[in-house]
Amino acid sequence: MDELHGQKYVVKARELIKKFGFKTALRQVNLSLISGDCLALFGPNGAGKTTLIQILCSLTLPTSGKVVIAGLDTRYHRAAIHRLIGVIAHDTFLYGDLTAVENLNFYGRMYNVPKLKARIDDLIDQVGLRAYKNDPVHTYSRGMKQRLSVARAILHDPAILFLDEPYTGLDQQGADDLQRLLNQFRDQRKTIVLASHNLARGLELCSHAAILNAGELIYHENTAGIDKNEFKQMYLKLTEEKTWSHQISAQVSYENSRRSYGKIFFPNSDPKN
Amino acid sequence: MCLFSFLVVIIFSFAFGTDLQVYNGMVPGILWVAFIFSGLLGLNRSFGTERDKGTLSGLLLCPVAPWEIFLAKMIGTLIFTTIMEIFTFLVFIILYNQNVLPFLVPLSLVIFLGTLGFSIVGTIFSAMSSATKARDVILSILVFPISVPVIIASVKATGLILEGRSIQTVYAWLKILVAFDMVFLLLAYLTFSHIMEE
């Protein structure tokens, strides 16, 4: 099914599995978003949020499963998809030796942004870096880099935004400015996927919340009218339960493999040991 | 790169002296050793720096095909290596008292084709090795064996030209260089998106 209530899915992930060697980072993740949906993706460290964002924006291919962005399969239409999406990740993707303007100019030319100079001026103002726009980026603080990273991500006016911990390094003012920008995006009915540990900001911004734990999507609901404290309690309970159950199952499989190893290589050994 | 190639040429001049009449066959070898070893220094930085500074993902997220990123990187490597080669060549002419003016055009052609082949192979393996920890070592281990045909053809063709032979005599070596460049360019076109996937 490619539609919900007559609206086409903008982001559709089906049965995503991602393995790194023996470690499974994502287990059968399904996700569907229509235009204007805003999803907050929560989860403890190592839950697979970054891996999921990387797969959704086609930086990494899944081991199995499929991702379709605006009707385009990420395996075959990367360039076209990249024109539609903006990404803020752990890395800022900025060149330290270039100034803010030069960085934006470089990415603007890569995206073929029309009226680039005016657009850069506007964005530099929006992220509050006018006074520093001609300084090399390596002289910026982490927060300033993150502000510029936001400008870089929305430079080509993307229809879909993937944000992986966008509040990292931002002071209160910077986080508020980013929240204001994201609210504008949401009001323009653009699609946002936000991975964050900040439950309050995530719930404030987004229309849907999902919880990812140990690679599994264990919760995905509309957040309209949800109480933040209740959600926090539920989040803690769900992630704790799942973490314990995964630790136990990992221990059991380790014990089983140890016993099989004993059976195969030491046929005279006592299977009870 | 320029400093390193300068040092290589100087060291060879100390080792063998500047009168290379006895070692005439070694002249093109010395030149290409300087080119290849110094070029490798540049290749290490081609993708490694992008990955270290976290800008490679930014490039890959731009609406261009990975193949286009490869071409841009390869052309960048080719330009910087050519600049280094011009510098090395000038030092080489002065130190070894070689008169290359009569052979400048065919020599430039050989050096261009050889450098192109080395840049293509080097850029492919630079992208592959950039994700590894010991990328400097791995790049050398990967690039040198694969570049053997291009190095042999370049050295032989350069030697024949410096001996004053006609362009027809080096034609076979030029064909090898062109074939090598085309094969590896095609290989890069077909495989580069897979190389950049992880």
Tell me whether residue B98 is exposed, middle or buried, using C-beta atoms within 10 angstroms of its C-beta: 0 to 12, 13 to 18, 19 or more.
Answer: middle
Interface test with B, best of A69, A78, A109, A112 (most B CBs within 10 A): A78
| Dist CA A35 CA B4 (whole Å) | 56
Per-residue pLDDT tens for B5-53?
888 888 877 777 766 554 567 788 888 988 998 888 888 888 888 888 8
Q: Across the interface, do B55 and A57 touch by the CB < 8 Å criterion?
A: no
Domain extent, residue B133, equals 2-197
Q: Across the interface, do A91 and B62 touch by the CB < 8 Å criterion?
A: no
* Residue with the two structure tokens 């890569």: A110
Provide, as residue numbers in chain B, all residues whose Cβ is less than 8 Å from the Cβ of A152.
58
**Half-sphere exposure of residue A10, counting CA atoms within 13 Å on the CB side?**
20
Provide, as residue numbers in chain B, all residues whose Cβ is less than 8 Å from the Cβ of A18.
none
Please state the ipTM of this predicted complex: 0.79
Task: Kindly state the tokens that stand for A129.
Answer: 């870096």
Beta bridge partners of A39: A193, A208
> Distances in Å between the alpha carbon of A2 and those of A6, A34, A192, A207, B75?
9, 10, 19, 20, 43
Q: From chain A, which residues contact B within 8 Å (Cβ)? A: 57, 59-61, 78-80, 82-83, 85, 87, 89-96, 107, 110-112, 152
Tell which B residues from 57 to 76 touch A, by Cβ distance under 8 Å.
Answer: 57-66
Q: Judge whether B105 is closer than 8 Å to chain A, CB to CB.
A: no
Chain pair A-B, CB pairs under 8 angstroms: 50
Grade residue A266 by pLDDT with cuts at 50, 70 and 90.
very low
Q: Judge whether B52 is closer than 8 Å to chain A, CB to CB.
A: no
Task: Kindly state the tokens that stand for B15.
Answer: 């080792």
Instruction: Using CB atoms, pick whichever of B53, B59, B193 lies closest to residue A96.
Output: B53
3-state helix, strand, coil in chain A (%, to 5): 45, 25, 30
| Dist CA A44 CA A264 (whole Å) | 38
By CA distance, what is B195's nearest residue in A? A60
The answer to whether residues A182 and A205 touch, using CB atoms and an 8 Å cutoff, is: yes
pLDDT of B198 reads 59
Q: What's the full length of chain B, in residues?
A: 198
Where is pLDDT greater, at A173 or B150?
Answer: B150
By CA distance, what is B58's nearest residue in A? A93
pLDDT of A265 reads 41
C-beta neighbour count of B52 within 10 angstroms: 12
CA-based nearest distance B6→chain A, Å: 27
- Going by C-alpha positions, the residue among A66, A61, A37, A15 that lies closest to residue A215 is A15
pLDDT of A255 reads 56
Q: Mean pLDDT lowest for which of A242-246, B52-56, B61-65?
A: A242-246
C-beta neighbour count of A227 within 10 angstroms: 11
Q: Across the interface, do B62 and A107 touch by the CB < 8 Å criterion?
A: yes
Count: domains in chain B? 1
The answer to whether residues A202 and A194 touch, using CB atoms and an 8 Å cutoff, is: yes
Task: Kindly state the tokens that stand for A93.
Answer: 């993707």
Q: Across the interface, do A83 and B63 touch by the CB < 8 Å criterion?
A: yes
Provide, as residue numbers in chain B, all residues whose Cβ is less than 8 Å from the Cβ of A87.
61
By CA distance, what is B194's nearest residue in A? A61
Provide, as residue numbers in chain A, all residues whose Cβ is less than 8 Å from the Cβ of B49.
none
Q: Across the interface, do A60 and B57 touch by the CB < 8 Å criterion?
A: no
Per-residue pLDDT tens for A209-250?
888 888 888 888 887 777 777 778 877 877 776 555 555 555
Q: Across the interface, do B57 and A93 touch by the CB < 8 Å criterion?
A: yes
pLDDT of A218 reads 84
- Going by C-alpha positions, the residue among B47, B59, B185, B45 that lies closest to residue B113 is B185
- Whole-model pTM: value is 0.80
Beta bridge partners of A16: A29
* Residue with the two structure tokens 């016993």: A259
Please, what is the Cα angle at A173 between A167 and A177, to 5 degrees?
Answer: 70
Provide, as residue numbers in chain A, all residues whose Cβ is less than 8 Å from the Cβ of B45.
none
pLDDT of A244 reads 57
| Dist CA A72 CA B174 (whole Å) | 44
Q: Across the interface, do A87 and B61 touch by the CB < 8 Å criterion?
A: yes
Provide, as residue numbers in chain A, all residues whose Cβ is less than 8 Å from the Cβ of B65.
78-79
| Dist CA A171 CA A2 (whole Å) | 40
The answer to whether residues A34 and A7 touch, using CB atoms and an 8 Å cutoff, is: yes
Helical H segments across chain A, by residue range: 49-56, 78-84, 100-110, 116-126, 142-154, 172-187, 199-205, 228-265
Grade residue A167 by pLDDT with cuts at 50, 70 and 90.
confident
Tell me whether residue A137 is exposed, middle or buried, using C-beta atoms within 10 angstroms of its C-beta: 0 to 12, 13 to 18, 19 or more.
Answer: buried
Where is pLDDT greater, at A149 or A168?
Answer: A149
pLDDT of A6 reads 59
pLDDT of B43 reads 85
Provide, as residue numbers in chain A, all residues whose Cβ is less than 8 Å from the Cβ of B71.
none
Task: Kindly state the tokens that stand for B194.
Answer: 């897979």
Task: Kindly state the tokens that stand for A241.
Answer: 């339960």
Task: Kindly state the tokens that stand for B197.
Answer: 């996937």
| Dist CA B119 CA B39 (whole Å) | 8
**What is the pLDDT averaged over residues A150-173?**
88
